[in-house]
Amino acid sequence: MNIIVVGLSHKTAPVEIRERVAFAPTAMEEPLQQLLGLSAIAEGIIVSTCNRVEFYATSRDPDAAISQLKRFMASYHQLTPEELETHLYDYQGEEAIRHVFRVSASLDSMVIGEPQILGQIKTAYGYATEFKTVGLILNRFLHKAFSVAKRVRTETNIAGNAVSVSFAAVELARKIFGQLEGKTVMLIGAGEMCELAARHFVNNGISQVLVTNRTFARAEKLANEFTGLPIPFEDYIEQLYRADIVLASTGAPNFILDRPQVEGIIKRRKHKPMFFIDIAVPRDIDPKVNDVDNVYLYDVDDLQGVVQANLKERQKESRKAEAIIDQEIGTFHSWLATLEVKPTIVSLRQKFEQIRRGEVEKSLKNLKDLDAKQLKSIESLTSAIINKILHQPISALKQTNNSEEGGNDNYVDAVRTLFNLEPPRAEDELIDLDDGDA
């Protein structure tokens, strides 16, 4: 049985294409059932996010499965195959396993290390489980992908270090103050960037949020979102001494804070540290403010520098993650191989045993006077011949199954073709599979 991946992502398709092939998360039953209705598909999952749409499936005929999945994606969304073809990728076997492990571990994400994709795949798996479109292989495969993602996060720092401007501000604040509990942040401006940064600060322990804006109603609205306090714009200089962290983004044409003003504020605070974050362009705060003792000023370029440095660190950690995935691919591929090899050995033995019994029974009809000892000798002789004949092919199958390089598919296919063996039954595929892995 082969694992198949067909899909597109932010790397291969613009948003105009991705939004046209997206599947509504609240209406997954119909497409999942249609997916399972494809003749070459045994099991299936649909992963649909803003950055990717992918099918994970199993099939005994991977080429046919890939073709059917591509046509299904196009027809379901009323597109022609030609409209999608250049944007689609497909993988099978080990490459499909690698792709799903990398996606789950966020190595294929727009921002390496972002945690959302794992939750999105778990949700997709939940729908497939609910609507019964997964079985033995995809159940095991997805649980393995989840454990690989967890291992990557545990054994690497791929999710560490801020990679957004707003969260970089939080990270720097922690370095300055040690901890954010009991600290106060003032937002000068109430735009989207201020709001996002404030949300990060609140989520990381800030105790109070002060908000000032030229439009007081906007300051009130944003302050209410954080159970904070609105400050009239004409009074914010007077109130700045209360803030440990000041986030400025007003869009003013000139500086709204200069060095003499900040010197007075820091003196009023008895020289307790202040952290100023100026994300406005043009800047809101005079750069000379950074020369005041116990004052730390970062502008948007400084924060971008932190983000780029952190992205480089994540890239370094991603190399460790790739090594983990290489190791886990081998583990899973070995388990997957047992689904074919062990049932094939069972089928092969059953086939030869059936032939042996048939021939023995036919011969015994002409041998009427044999005693029990002679009958036992005939049974032993014919069984020994069968065991001798089967020894080499079964040994070869076992060796390829235990090989770290895998590659047993050709042997299995050859044996099944040469001896006309039936495809393994579901109960055969469950033989001795438990290796203790979730």
Per-residue pLDDT, 163: 59
Query: pLDDT averaged over the chain?
Result: 86
H helix runs in 22-115, sequence order: 29-36, 62-76, 81-85, 94-104
Q: Which amino acid is it at 431?
A: I
194 an active-site residue? no
**Does some domain include residue 318?**
no
Q: Please tell me the least confidently modeled range out of 64-78, 150-164, 312-326, 414-428.
A: 414-428
Residue in 50, 323, 389, 414 annotated catalytic: 50
**Does some domain include residue 315?**
no
Per-residue pLDDT, 435: 35
pLDDT at 86 over 60: yes
Mean of pLDDT values over 202-215: 91
- 230 Cβ partners below 8 Å, 6+ apart? 210, 211, 212, 216, 219, 220, 222, 223
pLDDT at 13 over 70: yes
> Are 180 and 193 members of one domain?
yes
Q: What share of the chain has pLDDT > 70, as a percent?
A: 90
> Are 356 and 292 members of one domain?
no
**Does some domain include residue 335?**
no
**Does some domain include residue 135?**
yes
Range of the domain at 90: 2-160
CATH code at 169?
3.40.50.720
432 pLDDT band, cuts 50/70/90, is very low
- pLDDT tens digits along 330-343: 888 777 766 667 77
> Are 202 and 124 members of one domain?
no
> Are 184 and 138 members of one domain?
no
> Are 62 and 148 members of one domain?
yes
- As given in the structure block, the two tokens for residue 74 are 């196009």
Where is the domain boundary, 308, 327, 361? Answer: 308
> Are 259 and 366 members of one domain?
no
Q: Mutual orientation of helices 192-203 and 165-177 as an angle, nearest 10°?
A: 40
Measured distance CA(429)–CA(136) in Å, rounded: 9
Where is the domain boundary, 290, 308, 326? Answer: 308
Residue pair 17/87 in contact by the 8 Å Cβ criterion: yes
> Are 290 and 344 members of one domain?
no
Measured distance CA(49)–CA(103) in Å, rounded: 12
> Are 98 and 201 members of one domain?
no
Mean of pLDDT values over 70-93: 95
Q: Give how far Cα 168 sits from Cα of 154, 311, 402, Å.
A: 22, 11, 48
> Are 70 and 101 members of one domain?
yes
Measured distance CA(279)–CA(50) in Å, rounded: 27
In the chain, the number of structural domains is 3
- pLDDT tens digits along 257-313: 999 999 999 999 999 999 999 988 778 999 999 999 999 999 888 887 777 777 777
CA dihedral of 21, 25, 29, 34, whole degrees rounded to 10? 10
Q: How far is CA 345 from the centre of its chain?
A: 36
92 strand-pairing partners? 4
- 112 Cβ partners below 8 Å, 6+ apart? 106, 158, 311, 314, 315, 318
> Are 148 and 37 members of one domain?
yes
Measured distance CA(269)–CA(246) in Å, rounded: 14
> Are 302 and 349 members of one domain?
no
Where is the domain boundary, 129, 160, 191? Answer: 160
**Does some domain include residue 408?**
yes
> Closest by alpha carbon to 206, among 225, 171, 181, 179?
181
